[in-house]
Amino acid sequence: MSKKEILKALHEKKGEYVSDEELASEGGISLEQVPQEIQWLKDDDYIIEHSSELGYRLIKVSNRLLPYEIQRDLHASYMGVEIHYFKEVDSTNEVAKKLALEGAPEGTIVIAESQSSGKGRLGKKWISPSGGVWMTIILRPDIPPRQAPQLTLVTGVAVAETLSKECGLDVGIKWPNDILIGNKKVSGILTEAITNQELDFVVVGIGIDLNVDLDSFPPELREGATSLKRELDRDIPGVKLVQNFLADFENLYNEFKAGNFPEILAEWRRLSKTIGRQVEVRKRGRVVTGEAVGVNKDGMLILETEDGLRKVISGECIHLNKKH
Ligand code: BTN
């Protein structure tokens, strides 16, 4: 806790020296403990300068997605109030499921700089090197299990809106939940619902290729993927992006809980890069081809095929031609 208080004191006087005495008093620790606390902050990649006469001053804030930094300027009332941070973890969705089973409250976030076993949809591996945003949110909505997939669409809208505000580029959604810039994937969402007759909880995992170096991707994935850094040719501050996303997501999720899913779905349709296109949906060796003419309220894709209208619940969607 003292680390947080010391950081607060340094932040408040950013660029100016704060004396050892003031830091000890703010942190509720002895003078002798100050250097150790400062060292822990340096270990978190804060750059702090020391003067034996004047004390310590913060030169540069850490680039990591640290809870303290995310919460410092977060305009959300319950999303991100509890944040579990990892430098590396197997999968934030797996950690979130364990925490949810132990009773973690709605809005709890698990976030990692990198994942060793990141999970994608349809049993695929999700490459998660440092530079990306890999996070999972625990939700406890009072809805029947069949409505849980709607949360993927709600999240897709929040991610697309956040990225669009950040980069001003052509951001859109490929059904069911890939966020694209142009026709390249920049983000994916993996929703897992845990049910026991009723819906116990939902974990929504979000992966964003923010400052990811695409050379770290296997060649077969490089072609269809992009990162914000690649698109904008600069590093994007991850903390600000996460804060913006959490605030936007909390608003949309509140709307969802208030029964306003139809309005969110209308926004999803507006952001969709799939509707109006000729697509192929593959699932377990079966392929359905047709024009995507809409999504229904359960998030199913409606295709106009040679044999008439078909609804598809899940699968890998491939865009075959340009949207007209
Ligand atoms: C997809 O498009 O296939 C979904 C990708 C979801 C990736 C995120 S990264 C954070 C969270 N933890 C995981 O293991 N997966 C999700």
Domain residue limits at 13: 2-60
Rounded to the nearest 5°, which phi and psi values hold at 247? -65, -45
Please state, in angstroms and rounded to a whole number, the distance separating the CA atoms of residues 123 and 276: 28
Question: Ligand 1, closest atom to CA 117?
Answer: 14
- Residue to mutate (ligand 1; options 92, 119, 155; most atoms within 8 A of CB): 119
User: Is 220 in the same domain as 305?
Assistant: no
User: Is 221 in the same domain as 286?
Assistant: no
Tally the C-alpha atoms within 13 A of residue 235's C-alpha that lie toward its C-beta.
7
* pLDDT for the residue 216: 85
Mean pLDDT over 123-143 rounds to 96
pLDDT at 154 over 90: yes
Question: Ligand 1, closest atom to CA 207?
Answer: 9
User: Is 285 in the same domain as 302?
Assistant: yes
* pLDDT for the residue 1: 58
User: Is 248 in the same domain as 106?
Assistant: yes
Distance 92 CA to ligand 1 centre (A): 8
Distance 139 CA to ligand 1 centre (A): 16
Is 292 domain-assigned?
yes
pLDDT at 5 over 70: yes
81 or 146, which is more confident? 81
Give the full edge-to-edge strand order of the sheet including 83-89.
Answer: 83-89, 109-115, 133-139, 198-208, 184-196, 178-181, 171-174
User: Is 176 in the same domain as 309?
Assistant: no
pLDDT at 324 over 60: no
Is 324 domain-assigned?
no
Question: Ligand 1, closest atom to CA 135?
Answer: 10
Is 264 domain-assigned?
yes
pLDDT at 323 over 70: no
Surface-to-core class of residue 295, CB atoms within 10 Å of its CB (0-12 exposed, 13-18 middle, 19+ buried): buried
Please state, in angstroms and rounded to a whole number, the distance separating the CA atoms of residues 151 and 154: 5
Question: Ligand 1, closest atom to CA 90?
Answer: 14
Mean pLDDT over 102-121 rounds to 97
User: Is 99 in the same domain as 222?
Assistant: yes
At residue 140, the 3 state secondary structure works out as coil
Work out the pLDDT band at 318, boundaries 50, 70, 90: very high
* pLDDT for the residue 314: 87
pLDDT digits (tens, 9 = 90+) for 42-95: 999 999 999 999 999 999 999 999 999 999 999 999 999 999 999 999 999 999
pLDDT digits (tens, 9 = 90+) for 260-270: 999 999 999 99
Distance 218 CA to ligand 1 centre (A): 17
pLDDT digits (tens, 9 = 90+) for 214-232: 988 888 888 899 999 999 9
CA distances to 15, 46, 71, 166, 286 from 23, in Å:
15, 16, 21, 36, 64
Distance 159 CA to ligand 1 centre (A): 13
Question: Ligand 1, closest atom to CA 132?
Answer: 9
Number of domains comprising the chain = 3
- Residue to mutate (ligand 1; options 86, 91, 126; most atoms within 8 A of CB): 126
Mean pLDDT over 157-178 rounds to 94
User: Is 158 in the same domain as 303?
Assistant: no
Work out the pLDDT band at 299, boundaries 50, 70, 90: confident
Is 150 domain-assigned?
yes
* pLDDT for the residue 197: 85
**Mean pLDDT of the chain, nearest integer:** 94
Is 46 domain-assigned?
yes
| 187, 158 Cβ separation under 8 angstroms | no
Question: Ligand 1, closest atom to CA 92?
Answer: 12
CATH code of residue 80 = 3.30.930.10
End of a domain among 44, 60, 76? 60
* pLDDT for the residue 44: 94
User: Is 166 in the same domain as 228?
Assistant: yes
- Residue to mutate (ligand 1; options 89, 109, 128; most atoms within 8 A of CB): 128
Tokens standing for residue 280: 């192929």
User: Is 79 in the same domain as 169?
Assistant: yes
User: Is 132 in the same domain as 87?
Assistant: yes
Tokens standing for residue 5: 């208080």
Percent with pLDDT over 90 in the chain:
85
User: Is 149 in the same domain as 232?
Assistant: yes
Q: CB within 6 Å of ligand 1 — which residues?
A: 91-93, 115, 118-121, 124, 126, 128, 134-136, 178, 188-190, 205-207
* pLDDT for the residue 322: 60
Percent with pLDDT over 70 in the chain:
98
User: Is 245 in the same domain as 104?
Assistant: yes
Distance 208 CA to ligand 1 centre (A): 9
Work out the pLDDT band at 126, boundaries 50, 70, 90: very high
CATH code of residue 11 = 1.10.10.10
CATH code of residue 290 = 2.30.30.100
pLDDT digits (tens, 9 = 90+) for 17-47: 999 999 999 989 999 999 999 999 999 999 9
